Each structure stands twice: as C-alpha cells, then as structure tokens.
Amino acid sequence: MARYIFITGGVVSSLGKGLASAALGALLQARGFTVRLRKLDPYLNVDPGTMSPFEHGEVFVTDDGAETDLDLGHYERFTGVSARRTDTISAGRIYSNVLERERRGEYLGKTIQVIPHVTNEIKDFLAIGEDEVDFMLCEIGGTVGDIEGLPFFEAIRQFSQDRPRGQCILMHLTLMPYLAASGELKTKPTQHSVKELRSIGLQPDVLVCRSEHPIPDRERAKIALFCNVRPDSVIPAYDLKSIYEAPLAYHRVGLDRAVLDAFQISPAPRPDLRRWEDVNDRLTNAEGEVRVAIVGKYTQLEDAYKSISEALTHGGMANRVRVRPEWIDAEKLEQPDGVHLLDGFHGILVPGGFGERGTEGMVAAAKYARERKVPYLGICLGMQMAVIEAARNLAGITDAGSEEFDHEAGEERFTPVVYHLKEWVQGNSRVERKITDDKGGTMRLGSYTATLAPGSKISEVYDGASEMEDRHRHRYEIDARYREPLEACGLWFSGMSPDGRLPEVVEVKDHPWFIGVQSHPELKSKPFAPAPLFRDFVRAAKDLERMV
C-alpha cells in the first residue's frame, strides 16, 4: 500500500508546489522508490479544457485523453511516469459525480452534504491505484484558507486518519518575504499559514519556505518552534536559473531526507542522481545558441505554451546548444512587412491554438519558412496553416481556408481544406462529433498512432520507424481529399492515421527541414528523453546557425 504525501500551499499562490512535488518525486525515484503524482484542483470547472489560455495557461493532455492542469506536465517531465485520467480531479468533477449519483438514487434518499458525501468522493479518488506504487504525491491546488479548497483539506484530514499511523504526511509550502527597509526575513506569514492549517486539523510534517534570500539557522529554528516541526524539516527553497536544477537543489537542502525521516524510513537507500547531474551539465555547458521564433496566439502568457518552451529546452540539451525562444504575436505578422520580424531566426515554430485570430500571420510565417528554407515546425494549428499556405500558393487553391473560422459560411466563402472532424476511430470503436456539441471534452483527445511513409523526413526523425504515437487535442483536421493536388506541388503527406483517412504529418520535399504534425509531441518530451521532433528541429536550427 502506498505512502501518501500531501502537498499544500499558503500565503500566496504560484509558490511552486507543482515544481516541488515533481522534484520530490524525482528524488524518491533516485532512491529506488516508485511514485505517482496527482493534482486536486478546487475550481468548479469540470476540467481546464474550456478555460482561456490567458486564464489558466496550457492544457496538458494525457495518453488516455484527459485535459488537465499544466502541473501534470511537470510531473511527467521530472519522473517520466505517464499521467492518467485518474491523476487529476477538480471540485467541479467531484460535485458533478456526487450529483449524478444522487440523481440515480445511490444515496438512498439521504440529504447530500459536503461531509460526508463530497469528502468521501475525494477520498475514493485518492485511493485509486494505491497498491501500484511506493509513494503517492497529491498536490492540492490553491492556498490554505481558500473557501473552495476546504472540502479537499477536510478530505485529506479524514483520509490520513483512516490510514494506519505513519502512512500519510503533509508537506506545506509558504513564503518568507524579505523587508528591505528593515533588512529582515519575516517568519510571521509562515506562522499564520500553519496556524490556518492547524485550525482545520492538519499539522505539517515538512515545511518548504520560498525565499529570495538565504534563511539563517536562527530563523529556521524559530519557524520550527512556532510551527511545531523538526528544525531539519524546515526546508529552504531559493530561486533557480532553471527548473531542472530543482531536484539537485532540493536534495542539497535535505528535502528527500526530511520526507523519509517523517515516514521513519531508515536507513534510506542512497540516491543515484547521475540522471540529474547529466541534465544540469547539458544545461550549463551549452556550446552555442540558436534563436527560435514562436509565432502564436497567446504569447502574452508564456505558460500558455509551457510544454513547447520546455520541449525546446530539451531539444537544446540533446544538441548541446542553448535555445533562445522569442515569442511573436501572430497578428503582428499580418501587418505590412510584418514577416520581417522573422529575419535572423534559425527556426520558426507555429504552435496550436483555437479560433481565427492571428491565423493569417501564421500562414505568413509558414510561407516565409518555406520560401527562405528556414527550419519550420508546425504543431496542430501550425500544421493546418502550413497546409492552407501550400494550397493557396502552390496548388492554386487561392481561397483555401478552414471550416473552423466560419463553419456557417461553408464553401461559399472559401474552400475548406481544413474541416470539422465528424468521426474517427479510437481503439476498436468509432467516435462521432457534431459542431453543435458541448465544447468540453469533445475533441479528438489522447494518444493516437500515425503510420509513417518510408524514406520520409519524419521517419528519419523517428530513427526509421514505420509508426509514431503522440497525443492529440483538436476538433478540426486536414481534408485528405486535397492530398493529391498538394502532393503534386511538393507537400508530402508523410504520416497518416492507420486507416489512411486522417493526415497526421506533412513535410515539404525540397526543404532542409519543414514538418507539420497534427499531434502535440511536446507533451511527451522530457529533459532526459527529448521528443524526437524537437531534438531534430533544434539540430536543423543549429545547422542553419552554423551556415549563417
């Protein structure tokens, strides 16, 4: 049966609970333990799939098709453990499940209440798969004191009491602000945050204190005294140049040791940190730099493209170069001479997105890369815009467009080379969708296989493989009816769904490196196992940088 580590936060949001959880998971793995990480979000959305990227950042997709918080991306990147649908839950999903059960009469006419019905639903979620791993790390979103988070805190209190003594611990992240006027680090916010936790029956076993300044031993002792934790369980967390320094940094200050001590695991297995030492060596000893333009719709918030940014970093590590991504608002390329914003870049990447805004700028970016022989990687919408560009400028379909941008106008407005996907095969069953369906959870989601053409660039990227498997998140597809005229102009449909109906990969034949994929390969990239497409894209950018 798994041991449980509950990770909570206090004082302010965005302290780095997700990163601390992921780093701790990596450290426990380094000591030979198996781990699984989970996220419990108190918001009332069923999942983040319908949230604006400006509101919530990236939506991370699992192999089994769950739309999740971006923290699950951190978990995968640090541990290599593929997240599942059962690794994420929101208050909205919890309440939805409870209400569905009530409508079915499963509560036998009882009055439905937060305690015990909502808290029992949360506890049932926590117990899923508890016999599969040594440690289950469960992060609670938000901060202690948030009204919507109270059922989750009560649930983990009950859960800890239900389990044998010593099977559950609580790790709490707080902020230690520095007052420049007095030259002091202040412990009072941490004390109040712990007091809030204790008032609802939760006592931290490990405190992780974020600070921009070194925390003196006397301040750690003060926190330990007032917060009722051991002095060596007060762990400082300082700002880092790269998130991938976190496992080694947390190990140096004793986080993994404090957690194992809290479980009374002694003697603990010695950690093997060679993986993370190699990762940091590649980060700090880069042998050059490449500039990559990311032409997107949500460039004001980098978290909207978190996995893209991290996958580029991984590709740089694989090639011993530093990747300098520069975010370019696609709408700016729609201005006269706007494409000159792309001058001087060694690679152009157009990521996914939804809606018409900025798409003509993406088409312009694809044309620029194709004509000037700049390495181009189009992901999801980025692939679709590359196909529209080729249809207009190579195949003579001058009114080529996407049904997404005006599905009511149909072919009267343009020729829809990109159309709304009405049905597809998932596993052994057929999935059907209508344009009028609800937005949430109705896309083509999760991991799908693509068959790769022999001798193609994409097959070469995947070491000569005949198939690749990546995650999808979209409701529009390239219309395969336009395959023949486009291939006659040099745009090769080099990857197709196994049934041959859905284009998965396109590439320009007479180009050094121009690939578009309908999937999201960035979601499976890791610092110690870079996504092949990003690894090779950065290599191509590096080759161009050397030629310039």
Residue-range domain boundaries for the chain: 3-279, 286-547
Neighbours of 146 (CB within 10 A): 16
Annotated catalytic residue 522 = yes
> What is the third-level CATH fold of 286-547?
Rossmann fold (3.40.50)
pLDDT of 530 reads: 97
Catalytic residue among 380, 403, 404, 507: 380
pLDDT of 443 reads: 79
Q: Tens of pLDDT along the chain (548 residues)?
A: 899 999 999 988 888 999 999 999 999 999 999 999 999 999 999 888 888 777 778 999 999 999 999 999 999 999 999 999 999 999 999 999 999 999 999 999 899 999 999 999 999 999 999 999 999 999 999 999 899 999 999 999 999 999 999 999 999 999 999 888 888 899 999 999 999 999 999 999 999 999 999 999 999 999 999 999 999 999 999 999 999 999 999 999 999 999 999 999 988 899 999 999 999 999 999 999 999 999 998 877 778 899 999 999 999 999 999 999 999 999 999 998 899 999 999 999 999 988 888 889 999 999 999 999 999 999 999 999 999 999 999 999 998 988 887 654 444 567 888 877 665 455 555 566 565 555 555 678 999 999 999 999 999 999 999 999 999 998 889 999 999 999 999 999 999 999 999 999 999 999 999 999 999 999 999 999 999 999 999 999 999 877 75
Sign for the CA dihedral angle at 168, 9, 522, 279 comes to: negative
Annotated catalytic residue 340 = no
Catalytic residue among 219, 403, 477, 522: 522
Task: Collapse the DSSP code of 306 into the 3-class scheme (helix H, G, I; strand E, B; otherwise coil) and give the result.
Answer: helix
Separation of alpha carbons 496 and 349, rounded Å: 21
CATH topology agreement for domains 3-279 and 286-547: yes
Compute CA 526 distance to the chain's CA centroid, rounded to the nearest angstrom: 11
> What is the third-level CATH fold of 3-279?
Rossmann fold (3.40.50)
Q: Length of the chain, please?
A: 548
pLDDT of 428 reads: 55
Strand order in the sheet with 347-350: 322-329, 289-296, 347-350, 376-379, 514-517, 503-508, 491-496, 444-452, 467-474
Annotated catalytic residue 380 = yes
pLDDT of 441 reads: 55
